[in-house]
Amino acid sequence: MAFPWGFDPFDELAVIDYGDCWFDAHNPLSIAPSIVQHARDIFASGAKMLTFGGDHFITYPLLQAHAERFGKPLSLIHFDAHCDTWPDDNPQSLNHGTMFYKAVKEGLIDPVTSVQIGIRTWNDDFMGINVIDAPWVHTHGVQATLDRILGIVGKRPTYLTFDIDCLDPAFAPGTGTPVAGGLSSAQALTLIRGMGSVNLVGMDVVEVSPPFDHSEITALAAAHIAADLLCVLRNQKMAAK
């Protein structure tokens, strides 16, 4: 039984590990199209995706595939220390700091009904996306944060992306660009467990870097976040019956 849910999500959800997305590392420009096609193949089965990174760049082709499947623009719930909306007008760049600049510009996501949580790096331009920065979460608490998130996305089709560096390095040291002052795993799990009313069309957990990890602290936090997302989906499935 999963805590605090009191059920096993796998009793109701048919879940499989679909394995890795193969791509040709010697042909970098083929990577994004490979991810889009991989997602299309999974959607053809009728399944939803919970994807694990790897580099946060993967959210960009995943958003392309989800927008194709569920319609655009999608709303975005984005947990991160970084906004990843730094300008980048090079269509060939593979960059984990510019995906949401491109996603807004290309109409994949609607900034007005999207929200970033845990931000604590400076950017002059958030592309119109709502920002609940880490100090705001710490000052106002998780319930007020959750209320804002749910109010911003409403019932719209929503993609959720969780960059593990949203968590403080104390809770997630194994990542490429850690920033002090982040959320605790307790805060993050409370927020994830409160996502029941969100129309979740797709999810990912990214930027876990095992070579940088210690005692699997980061992997443990990411696994809990992913498991709780499955519990949210299980409850949504039961409510829809």
Instruction: Specify which residues 203 forms β-bridges with.
Output: 50, 160
Size of the site for Mn ion (CB under 5 A): 5
By CB under 5 A, tell whether 110 contacts Mn ion.
Answer: no
Strands 75-79 and 115-119, by their bridges, are parallel
The interface with Mn ion within residues 57-86 (CB under 5 A) comprises 80-82
| Stretch of residues binding Mn ion (CB under 5 A), selected from 63-71, 161-169, 186-194, 230-238 | 161-169
Contact 31, 60 (CB under 8 A): no
Question: Taking the complex as a whole, how short is the minimal distance between the CB of residue 234 and Mn ion, in angstroms?
Answer: 28
Question: Which residue, 167 or 195, is less far from Mn ion as judged by CB?
Answer: 167
- Locus of tokens 């890795």: 20
Which residue, 42 or 222, has its beta carbon nearer to Mn ion?
222
CA-angle at 74, arms to 42 and 59, nearest 5° = 55
From 44-52, 98-106, 164-172, 220-228, span contacting Mn ion (CB under 5 A): 164-172
Give the integer Cα–Cα distance in Å for 19 and 158.
Answer: 24
Q: Restricting to residues 202-221, which ones interact with Mn ion according to CB under 5 A?
A: none
Decide: is 168 part of the binding site for Mn ion (CB under 5 A): no
Using CB under 5 A as the binding rule, whether residue 163 contacts Mn ion is answered as: yes
Sheet with 200-206: strands ordered across: 49-52, 200-206, 158-163, 75-79, 115-119, 130-133
Residue in 78, 80, 132 with CA at minimum distance from that of residue 103:
78
Nearer to Mn ion, 163 or 213 (CB): 163
Q: Toward Mn ion, which CB reaches closer, 69 or 82?
A: 82
Contacting positions for Mn ion (CB under 5 A): 80-82, 163, 165
